Amino acid sequence: MCQCDDPNHNHGRMTRRAALRGGVASSVAAAAAVATTTAAQAQSASPYAPPAEPALPPSTMKLDLSRTALVVTDPQVDFLHPEGVTWGVIGASVEEHNTVNNIETLFKSAKAADLTVAVSPHYYYPTDHGWKFEGALEKLMHNIGMFDRPGPLNLDGFEGSGADWMPQYKQYINDGKTIVTSPHKVYGNDTNDLSLQLRKQGVDQVILAGMSANLCTESHMRELLEDGFEVAVVRDATAAAMLPEGDGYLAALINFRYMANAVWSTEEAVAQIKAAS
């Protein structure tokens, strides 16, 4: 259950009139009764649940591990740790989806299957704070010092900082085999070398996870699709901020369903990896 404190965040629940006004025809009354039942069901259902009757065709994506990579966006303290600078707006989503543990499960499964693993990090250097214009989230990230590092060739203060990897992921990322790309600077991997690194490994299928759902993860999905990769997004290995402006996770989930080649749970992704092994 979502633990969001935002009083405006109603998870899409519908409201209905409590009763019909007198003198309404019985047929209309019957229709209203159906609507009331539907509303009650909607209130008890998760806004993130798959549609009961999907209109879009089901995925047919099957993994070929020889050309598959796990790609994780921003597995960093500022997004995923209670001491990270975004925890106040993103923590409830991270906890609801068990995101931290699910990302680790994907790392473990990928390493056990000897998959290519790539991490696409987000770093800001002092020169990035001199940008002449920014979007709303860019302004916020710069203002709170998110992902800040003293320079591209300087790791002073990196260990344990908001820009550092989550501690439980370091054994997988720092194993000498995981690709750590150059940083993306806004949201998508069109500003870093992820596609190049994957192509050089003979990869054209991607299992995509990481942070955050409607920003960097979705942007990576879009860019990878445009670059000709087949992309499966792991829906519970990501999360997003919940603000008065909207629920970022729900916004991303809708687009994942519309565009990705597959949308899997962590359990489904692990099963797909095992089935292809």
pLDDT in tens, 206-223: 999 999 999 999 999 999
Closest to 107 in 3D by CA, of 40, 173, 194, 36: 173
Q: Which residue has the tokens 């598959």?
A: 68
Position 241 scores a pLDDT of 96
Q: Could you tell me the two tokens for 151?
A: 């320079």
Position 136 scores a pLDDT of 83
Q: How many whole angstroms separate alpha carbon 193 and alpha carbon 138? A: 21
pTM of the model as a whole: 0.82
Position 250 scores a pLDDT of 98
Sign of CA dihedral 98, 141, 85, 158: positive
Alpha-helical (H) ranges within 45-160 are 77-80, 87-96, 99-112, 136-143
Q: Is residue 206 within 8 Å of 231, Cβ to Cβ?
A: yes
DSSP 126: G
Q: How many whole angstroms separate alpha carbon 277 and alpha carbon 274? A: 5
* Mean per-residue pLDDT, 67-77: 98
* Mean per-residue pLDDT, 223-231: 98
